Amino acid sequence: MQQLHSLADLGRVHLMGIGGVGVSAVARLMLAQGVAVTGSDAKELPVLDELRALGAGIHVGYSAAALPEADTVVASSVVKAGNPEYDEAVARGLRILHRSEGLAATMDGHHVVAVCGTHGKTTTTSLIAVMLRGAGLSPSFAIGANVAGLGVNAEHGGGRIFVAEADESDASFLNYRPDAIVVTNIEADHLDHYGTEAAVHESFHRFADLLPDGGLLVACADDPGAWALAQRIRRERPLVRVQTYGFSDAADRRLADAAPEGGRYACQLDWGSGDSQRLTLAIPGDHNLLNAAAAFAIGLDCGLEPGTAAAGLAAFAGAARRFEFRGEAAGVRVYDDYAHHPTEVLAALRAGRSVAGDRGRVHVVFQPHLFTRTREFWAQFAQALSLADTALVLDIYPAREQPLPGVTAALVADALETDGGLVDRDEVADRIAEVARDGDVVMTIGAGDVTELGQAIVATLGTGA
């Protein structure tokens, strides 16, 4: 089992890649708990000034000479051997921790609620944190996005509960020691790390096995992978409490009658004891009602009354890049979404359909993320995107990867069964302005820099171009 580290044992901590959403969260939590923190990143970012104001000493650019006196280094996943500052830390014999190990140290002494899943974990973690904070429980939290209702992506609260988004992409969630786990779904993804879908599922099972006796597993009954995990834990770990949720009749907490309701999205949530609760959300889509049902189960386990938990969920306004409203012009609403897996894209577009209603159309600008993911899922991406009336496809956002022979965005664009196709970035706003009309919804979708196009689209629509 991976060694756990206590904050008290880490001494002075230097964080490499401190501007990233994951490492900046660790920095905020450590600073709030009195740890002496320094950090570095490749470029200047707005979050660095926020961290400086909290007491962190930060420099921009990596060099061996710039590495300050430190006892422990916490490194982002993208900082590896070959980085001069990282290599200097190795040469000095400093303790080097992965980001997840640093985050695990900040959880020490808390009741840890970890939210994992191929999709939905950011929104579900955010829902839980907003709900618990609204109920006065002052949770600590670490989330993979900024959340308007919280103000930041991480905070050290005064309560006993720590809510963490648990990232499965490189199996680093196995460094945590959760008391409660939410599993939203389990699907093939990050095959550049895992190699096979079976290895992805195995990793989630290993994570669930970290639960102590008396711990809680909350799993989606509508997802085959999460359902199979819940049933195995019930068989093999009878002292672990298991609750399932979903639209399935087999779910312990069953959702029904999902529909738009007065500008919101609502459903009825029933459970076996005959109890029932109405859930209403400001964010659309059946997938978000499922996320809210998972959060509701955690709320009850943390001692909230059903009405209090539901009120907290109703107050949630969304997380950054999760169906985030970017503006409206000429009666056309523009949203941005981080979806980068076919299941996520389909869920986002279904949410867009629900917002557009019967008369509006949906137009999507999609940017594939990673060559390996495009290679594995290009046909599924095309099928999901075909739910839109117009689908414009940008070149692949490479992130950490090098190109692969024969893998281009054209694989997706050529398989579309709707209007649109491959498009240059600088043509997007004009192309959307040509097809969008009053009542339509436009969505920019992907994990790359497609997010930057929303404002340009709103501006172009506003000029009537």
Q: Which of 106, 118, 122, 408 is catalytic?
A: 122
Q: Under a CB-based contact definition with an 8 Å cutoff, are residues 404 and 372 in contact? A: yes
DSSP state of 38: E
The residue type at 84: P
Inter-helix orientation angle 99-106/21-32, to 10°: 30
- Show the DSSP H helices in 223-341 as ranges: 224-236, 286-301, 306-314
| Distance (Å) of CA 188 to CA 92, 223, 340 | 39, 13, 13
165 has catalytic annotation: yes
Q: How far apart are CA 23 and CA 26, in angstroms?
A: 5
DSSP state of 319: B
DSSP state of 225: H
Q: Which of 72, 85, 106, 121 is catalytic?
A: 121
69 has catalytic annotation: no
Q: How far apart are CA 302 and CA 299, in angstroms?
A: 5
460 has catalytic annotation: no
Q: How many CB atoms lie within 10 A of CB 403?
A: 10
Beta strands in 323-464 (DSSP E): 324-329, 332-337, 362-366, 390-393, 419-422, 441-445
In the block, which residue shows the tokens 């389909």? 346
Q: Which of 165, 168, 324, 376 is catalytic?
A: 165
- Nearby residues of 241 by Cβ (< 8 Å), 6 or more positions away: 214, 215, 216, 217
Q: How far apart are CA 287 and CA 176, in angstroms?
A: 26
Length of the chain (residues): 465
Q: Under a CB-based contact definition with an 8 Å cutoff, are residues 237 and 203 in contact? A: no
Catalytic residue positions, numbered: 121-122, 165
